[in-house]
Amino acid sequence: MKKLDGQIVIITGGARGIGEGICKIFCNEGATVALWDVLEEGQTTADNISADGGSIFFQKVDVTSQDSVDSAVANIIDNHGKIDVLINNAGIIRDRSILKMTREEWDMVRSVNVDSLFITTKAVLPHMKSANYGRIISASSINAFQGAFGQTNYSASKAAIVGFTHSLCREVGKYNITVNAVAPGFIKSEMTDSMPEEIIKAGITQIPVGRIGTPEDMAHAYLFLASKEAGFVSGHTLHANGGAMPI
């Protein structure tokens, strides 16, 4: 029996990168996945996973819009009757030193990375409460804890996710709903693929396990927290960074 057999899972920002990796692993474990993204590329990702046997469908959703999220949730409930897992993976970066950063760049990162958690959780939580079961897992970052030059907006947003996780778990634990976060470290992505080789090598020297992480590595971290076996783990931020930072 697979870990997520029969479960309905929402994965935001699932079109590429870590989100795509989560979609693949969760489908492999028997989940039916609703891939949410503003990118039309999400349809291609869903088609590719479906061709490999995964149960997945694409919904074009703007996670900063309550109307967009509410409509997508209503569609899932109409067609599947429940939502077991919410993965808040959608996020953006707008890197710039704070003296050069615009208010628009600050607000945009906050809106996508933080405000979306309120919007998606507000829409999904009543259905988890009525079912007396749920898993809510959100994407933080190693930079929420160590910071990074040019990322005051991003690091602040990812630190906010940790506080959100700690607080929400206290509100919903009585409904058999767990709330956790994952804090990835240096992960292979389109962004890292464009980095100079010497920068990548320098980054790897800071990782005790001696390699860069992969979207699949992150997906397995999410899978543990989404599983029924993790029912006593809540309010936790799982640091998935190869030992790059003391916790």
Interval 231-245: pLDDT, tens: 999 999 999 989 886
Q: Is 133 a catalytic residue?
A: no
Measured in Å, how far apart are the chain's first and last C-alpha atoms? 34
Q: What is the pLDDT of residues 123-163, one digit of tens each?
A: 999 999 999 999 999 999 998 888 888 899 999 999 999 99
Q: What is the pLDDT of residues 66-98, one digit of tens each?
A: 999 999 999 999 999 999 999 999 998 898 999
The position carrying tokens 């940790």 is 162
Tokens of 238: 């799982």
DSSP string, 30-89: T-EEEEEESSTHHHHHHHHHHHTT-EEEEEE--TT-HHHHHHHHHHHHHHHS---EEEE-
CB 157 within 8 A of CB 106: no
Indicate the residue type of 145: F
Give 214's DSSP letter: -
pTM of the model: 0.94
Spatial CB neighbours of 113, under 8 Å, sequence gap ≥ 6:
90, 91, 92, 154, 157, 158, 160, 161
Helix orientation angle between 17-28 and 41-51, rounded to the nearest 10 degrees: 30
- The pLDDT, as a whole number, for residue 31 is 98
Catalytic residue, from 133, 154, 175, 222: name it: 154
CATH topology of domain 8-238: Rossmann fold (3.40.50)
Q: What is the pLDDT of residues 13-31, one digit of tens each?
A: 999 999 999 999 999 999 9
